[in-house]
Structure 1
Amino acid sequence: MKGFEYLQEELNQMRQAGTFRRLVPLESEQGSKVVIDGKEVIQLSSNNYLGLTSHPRLRQAALDAVEKFGAGTGSVRTIAGTFSMHEQLEEKLAKFKHTEAALVFQSGFTTNQGVLSAILTPEDVVISDELNHASIIDGIRLTKAERRVYKHVDMASLEEALKGTQNSRKRLIVTDGVFSMDGNIAPLPEIVELAEKYDALVMVDDAHASGVLGKNGRGTVNHFGLDGRVHIQVGTLSKAIGVLGGYVASTRTLIDYLIHKGRPFLFSTSHPPAVTMACIEALDVLQEEPELIDRLWENTTFFKDGLKELGFNTGHSETPITPVIVGDEALSHQFSDKLLQYGVFAQGIAFPTVAKGLARIRTIVTAQHSNEELQMALDAFVKAGKELKIIN
């Protein structure tokens, strides 16, 4: 069929540049090791921080939910798709995040889109960190608010944006809690202080901090002791929580408003029973098995220190996300392919996910990894890195 030649031409250019990638299907459950093309390899690319995707308690909760409630819900939340379990999950999330209320969306991506597009008008200003996640960027694009972008974690740049927008109705500062490609943590105390000084709202996307930072994995707000001082907390149920979905935790006023105005919430079928009940169980696991987070951080320290000692550039990471920065886009993918050859699944990340010239292998260790597995991964990094002359 004719019509897509211009797209094929762009794909051909990607192939020539060595940046075209195919999807990699896994043939096993998500764990510290996975099976790819019949071969068991060490997994360093998943967001399964605590290993909850295959936790026995979550498996059983999902199975029980299907037996009792079926495979799906059959409606959007605002018509006939709100089950008591959905409200139970939201009540647990609000209590967990120390907020008045919470609302679950179909994904973390749609949560950011739904919140930002609903609450901002042409009278408002949204002020965003330049390295915020794509879902924040796309959510901002859906608004008609004035937009300001401040330099990455640069508080002087943020304050300049606040000073220059004091005539607007509302100003909303938006930041990732943990930045997904670099693994660094937003300077949230300074952001909150500036927001309070200039009467602005603060919204934090804690996708990669939920289950990782704060008491029992409550996120960056709790990590910094800022409960009650951040207006909007967004998170995901599909990374450390191990299942699927996103949520916003805030005041009862905001949650009630989003029920009426949040378009992804209004026009999407509610989460199926298995997903909902598994998420509820995951929140219980976070609070009842804190040793999982302790193990995650032990593994993080071991692997991060190992990469640094070997001479790899790991940037400014402070979390289980540890980038191995290569620079060249094609080289990063060659590095990924070589690692897979040596038994490690660690995906290359290149433009447009990261800036040109900053291509990398993004690694994420989990609580499931053993020291032996992580040492084997480090050995593979040495071998592949030397062969490609990334390290000496």
Structure 2
Amino acid sequence: MRDFEGELAQRKQAGLYRTRRQISGPQQPVLTSDGKPLLSFCSNDYLGLANHPANIEALRNALPETGLGGASSHLICGHHDAHHQLEQRLARFTGRSSALFFSTGYMANMGVISALAGRGDTIFSDRLNHASIIDGCILSRAKVRRYAHGDMAELEAMLAQTSGHKLVVTDGVFSMDGDVARLKELARVCRTHDALLVVDDAHGIGVLGPQGRGSVAEQGMSEEDVPVLIGTLGKAVGTSGAFVAGSSVLIDYLVQKARTYIYTTAMPPAIATATCASIDLIERDDERRQHLRELVAVFREQASAMGYELMPSETPIQPIMVGNNWSALELSRALEERGFLVIAIRPPTVPAGEARLRVTLSAAHSKSDLDRLLRALSECRHLLAEPDIAV
């Protein structure tokens, strides 16, 4: 029998053991974590919409009409009017012909990738892609080739050597580094080598681009450039679920083939109604995104001046590179003692030797909130090794 206790002990010894926090109350900058109030800088609620009054009111008003549960899969009797309306809204928002509503971002990536590629096909995946993309590639049973992060020359060489059906899949915004994929170059390479481009814009939707339409829109690209666009709704949108947007033929094909869509109970339809309300907010609230951009700029300037090593990210994801697992945990604990929740990210979420604190900023943070975090980071700077060891 496998030694589960032994494996857990090894994880603890390596500084890789993970624990869950119990959060009380709504998701907002000031959280109650295990009974203790903390100012959180680790949420993906980039626009502060997870607790927005208008979204809560939309959900409350929808419940008498829709009921609570989804009751069955979409292909039996679970596809509600509210789901259909959300899919139409998402298609308009992303500038696509159609959209399909999934229960989670993980399920969307696994279902879409495994539906679009199979045995005999080849998938090309950026080495820093999210775990859900990696698992979708594995599930597909296609041959998987991973190219160095953002390395267009390596990808193009791989594509040139490969025949048959080819799929290139990438994050739009990389969740642990915060950088944005070179989508125009990716689209060019895919056109040249007849490969289908899939972009998961989980961390770009709502934050980047005109009216928050994401990294694809920010780079001026259309459905023709990016035929398959995936996004999640539990991050900047502030609700729950995910979607894929593209041509009507693509969506029809996925309804027939995407197992994580076909064989799961539909999301509560009231969530779909609340999501429509949230998208309305996102489209018209440029001030919220501008405030977020200002917070990012201040954080980068001042944290860098303290000697912290940051990644080249202009998004709300601002990793502080530490390297050593235990050092990352110590810095996280020191910040928590000062009233801040900033989680240490360790392997296998990031490569070995690249442990970090993943600071995430939200439009719900005030400038005063950020000033407090920066003061705490200044007080804790001595905990990290000096120049010969990366911070």
TM-score by length of 2: 0.96
1:267-324 deviation line (CA, Å, top 9, x unaligned):
1111103311111111111112221111111111111222111110112222110000
2:108 matched to which residue of 1? 111
1:376 matched to which residue of 2? 372
Contact 1:326 1:390 in 2 (8 A): no
1:46 matched to which residue of 2? 43
Which SS does the other structure have where 1:24 is aligned? coil
After superposition, the Cα gap between the structure-2 partners of 1:172 and 1:343, relative to the gap in structure 1 and judged at 3 Å, is: same
Residue from 347, 363, 381 that aligns with 1:385: 381
Q: Are positions 1:221 and 2:216 aligned together? A: yes
Residue from 126, 130, 141 that aligns with 1:129: 126
Residue from 348, 354, 357 that aligns with 1:352: 348
Q: Are positions 1:61 and 2:58 aligned together? A: yes
Residue from 257, 261, 283 that aligns with 1:261: 257
Which consecutive residues of structure 1, in runs of 5 or more, have no partner in the other structure? none
Q: Are positions 1:205 and 2:192 aligned together? A: no
1:309-366 deviation line (CA, Å, top 9, x unaligned):
1110112222110000100011111111111011110000001000110000001000
C-alpha displacement of 1:144 = 2.2
1:85-107 deviation line (CA, Å, top 9, x unaligned):
10100000001111110001110
Aligned partners of 2:92 and 2:120: how far apart in 1? 33
Q: Are positions 1:70 and 2:67 aligned together? A: yes
C-alpha displacement of 1:37 = 3.6
Amino acid at match of 1:83: H
Over the matched positions of the two proteins, sequence identity in percent amounts to: 39
Which SS does the other structure have where 1:369 is aligned? coil
Amino acid at match of 1:179: F
Residue from 81, 100, 119 that aligns with 2:97: 100
Which SS does the other structure have where 2:44 is aligned? coil
C-alpha displacement of 1:36 = 2.1
Q: Are positions 1:252 and 2:253 aligned together? A: no
Contact 1:19 1:333 in 2 (8 A): no
Which deviates more, 6-15 or 340-349? Answer: 6-15
Counterpart mapping for 1:308-319 below 5 A: 308-319=304-315
Amino acid at match of 1:177: G
Equivalences, count: 387
Aligned partners of 2:258 and 2:46: how far apart in 1? 29
Aligned partners of 2:366 and 2:268: how far apart in 1? 33
Contact 1:62 1:273 in 2 (8 A): no
Q: Are positions 1:285 and 2:281 aligned together? A: yes
Aligned partners of 1:37 and 1:145: how far apart in 2? 43
C-alpha displacement of 1:221 = 1.1
2:32 matched to which residue of 1? 35
2:267 matched to which residue of 1? 271
TM-score by length of 1: 0.96
1:196 matched to which residue of 2? 191
Which SS does the other structure have where 2:245 is aligned? strand
Question: Pairwise CA RMSD of aligned residues?
Answer: 1.4
Q: Are positions 1:14 and 2:8 aligned together? A: no
Amino acid at match of 2:319: P
Which consecutive residues of structure 2, in runs of 5 or more, have no partner in the other structure? none
Aligned partners of 2:70 and 2:142: how far apart in 1? 35
Which SS does the other structure have where 1:326 is aligned? strand
Q: Are positions 1:178 and 2:173 aligned together? A: yes
C-alpha displacement of 1:67 = 2.3
Aligned partners of 1:387 and 1:130: how far apart in 2? 31
Contact 1:74 1:269 in 2 (8 A): yes
Aligned partners of 1:371 and 1:288: how far apart in 2? 22
Aligned partners of 1:185 and 1:195: how far apart in 2? 18
Which deviates more, 31-40 or 144-153? Answer: 31-40
Which SS does the other structure have where 1:79 is aligned? helix
